[in-house]
Amino acid sequence: MDAIGGLGLDASLVLEAQAIAISIVETYKRISFVLREYGIAGTWLVMFGSHDVLRSEFQVLASGDDQVAFDFKKATQDESNMIAIAVRRSSFPNLTFLFLTKFG
């Protein structure tokens, strides 16, 4: 294994420590952003929310332009509708099968 700079450090250990440090910094950034923008209620958002969605939402609300807010709302609703349709289509055959086997 390669030693780095005569310190006897393994290169893989240094890379692993670097990855851990980057992860800690990113986590700190996420928590501080949510707490700064949403206050103490942001602790729930940190635990259960998506950072990318929260950041997008905040940018839309901070823009002050109604058209941006309407476009964001429409895009979110369209995505939710697509997910609902996909769930309905995937569960409907299962429910039909259960109904037919129980009462058929």
pLDDT 10s digits, 84-95:
777 777 766 666
- Residue pair 9/3 in contact (Cβ under 8 Å)? The answer is yes
69, two tokens: 């807010």
Average pLDDT over residues 35-57: 77
Average pLDDT over residues 46-50: 73
Q: What is the pLDDT of residue 1?
A: 47
Average pLDDT over residues 40-51: 75
What's the pTM value of the predicted model, to 2 decimals?
0.41
| In the chain, domain spans | 1-49, 64-104
- Residue pair 55/44 in contact (Cβ under 8 Å)? The answer is no
Residue with tokens 């349709």: 85
Q: Cα 7–9–15 angle (5° rounding)?
A: 135
Average pLDDT over residues 48-58: 74
